[in-house]
Amino acid sequence: MKVLIVDDAAFMRMVLRKIVEEAGYEVVGEAANGEQAVQEFRRCKPDVVTMDLTMPIMDGIVATKKIRELDPTAKILVTSAMGQAVMVKDAIHSGAYDFVVKPVDQNRFLAALANARPR
C-alpha cells in the first residue's frame, strides 16, 4: 500500500514514516501543509493519506475536501491532537474514513491503515 504522510511537524512525519515502513507499507510522499498535500496527492497517487488537521496555509479539513474532489474514492486517515467530537465529525463529514488521536497509538494507527484497502 502506498501512503502519503501529511503533517506540519517534521518529527511527526518521521514517526509516522517509521510506523508505516516497519509495517511493510511504502511512503510515496510527504507534505507539511494542506496545499502541498493536494499537490503530492496528484503527483504520487497514494492508496491512503494520513492527514493532520491543524496546519499552516491550508488546514487538513480543506485539504481533505479538495483531495476528495480530485478523487471521490481517496482514502484519508486523519491524525490529530484535536480529538474533540466536533473535529472528528468535521473530518468524517469532509471525507476522512477514520480519525486517530495524537499521540498516535501504533496499534490503533496500523489497524486504521489496514482498513483503508487499496482502491
Alpha carbons 119 and 79: distance in angstroms, whole number: 21
CATH number for the domain spanning 58: value is: 3.40.50.2300
Query: What local confidence, expressed as pLDDT, does residue 88 receive?
Result: 78
Owning domain of residue 19: 2-108
Three cell numbers, residue 10: 517534521
Alpha carbons 29 and 36: distance in angstroms, whole number: 10
- Please check whether residue 119 lies inside any domain of the structure: no
- Please check whether residue 116 lies inside any domain of the structure: no
Query: What local confidence, expressed as pLDDT, does residue 36 receive?
Result: 98
Mean pLDDT per block of 10 residues along the chain (119 residues) reads 97 97 97 98 97 93 96 94 75 91 93 81
Q: Exposed e or buried b for every residue in 57-94, given b needs 16+ CB within 10 A? A: ebbbbbbbebbbeeeeebbbbbbbebeeeebbebbeeb
Query: What local confidence, expressed as pLDDT, does residue 27 receive?
Result: 98
